Amino acid sequence: MKLPHTQKGFTIIELLLYVSIAGVILLSVSGFLSTLLESRVKNQTIAEVEQQGTQAMQMMTQTLRNGVSITTPAFSATSSMLLLTTPTSANNPTIFSLFGGALQMKEGAQATTSLTNARVSVSGLVFSNLSATSTIGTTTRIRFTITSVAPTGRQEYSYAEIFTGSATLRP
């Protein structure tokens, strides 16, 4: 008596079904990983802009609070530059300004220091002297925009934030 011959292996339909299921799973995983990487880059870009803006604002407000007097801008005026007299004569004048998209600080005869790095660009720097001539203590509002510099033009690298702060000279 002869045993029936059974074939072992997959049919072509089963093979196509397995390959298509594996392809769908791989596409889903790669799409998820791509979205995850884009989110990571976007979060790093936002963190960079926020860190640079916060650090620059703290430096300017701290220096302003410790200053003696403000030369520019005049009372009730605005300017794109802040010229400040400080208690330390070697740091006079202290100047905050914008040059080539970088926020800069110059103290006396020292070299100019950049307060932001090349990964961001600063624009719209405005110092507003909010005090009237007869007021004790000069209050200055600082406003600027920091934009991420996108090296490849990809959307996840683009982010901008406006920073606003104020400080009053200590009497």
Could you tell me the pTM of the whole model?
A: 0.79
Summarize pLDDT for 88-128 with one digit per residue, the tens.
Answer: 888 889 999 999 999 999 999 999 999 999 999 999 999 99
**103, 83, 105: which is closest to 93 by C-alpha?**
83
Say what percent of the chain tops pLDDT 90.
58
Instruction: List the chain domain ranges.
Output: 12-168
